[in-house]
Structure 1
Amino acid sequence: MDDHLPSTPDLTGTVDDRQRQLAALSRESLTAEWLRQQLDDTLRAWSATETELDISREGRADY
């Protein structure tokens, strides 16, 4: 990989935002490493959201 090329920016925002950003990028500019990093970031965000939802549901549970 040529270190002199500008790096592809990370995807940010909502799922819809990320999909729009990804669609706007040239497929040729996307490396496997970059795609893996985006997947990892997205899964971490999804996991954190699920954890927050679980905590919220548990707070409403009757014991």
Structure 2
Amino acid sequence: MTETNGSGPADLSGTVDERLAQLTALESASEPLSAQWLHRQLRSALNAWAEDATTVDIDLESRTDY
């Protein structure tokens, strides 16, 4: 996990599987996760997803025959 900015535990990091494992461990803890922390994690995941989708789109376009 990466360093926290004072609002909950450290941010999730790593591969999708690693982030899921980190989230599962945090959910098992007794302290609830704040809405602000969850929002930050969602934004981070969506940004990573968008970057991956862009990479896939570029790769597909490079294979298109005109």
Verify same fold: TM over 0.5. Answer: yes
User: TM-score, normalised on structure 2?
Assistant: 0.80
CA RMSD of aligned residues (A): 1.8
Q: Which residue of 1 aligns with 2:25?
A: 24
- 1:39 aligns with 42
Residue segments in structure 1 that go unaligned for 5+ positions in a row: none
Could you list the runs of 5+ residues in structure 2 that have no partner in the other structure? 1-5
Count of aligned positions: 59
Q: TM-score, normalised by structure 1?
A: 0.84
Q: Which has a greater percent of helix?
A: 1
Distance (Å, rounded) in 2 between the aligned partners of 1:7 and 1:43: 20
Aligned-residue identity in percent: 47
> Where does residue 60 of structure 1 map in the other structure?
63
Q: Which has the higher contact order (CA 8 A, sep 6+)?
A: 1
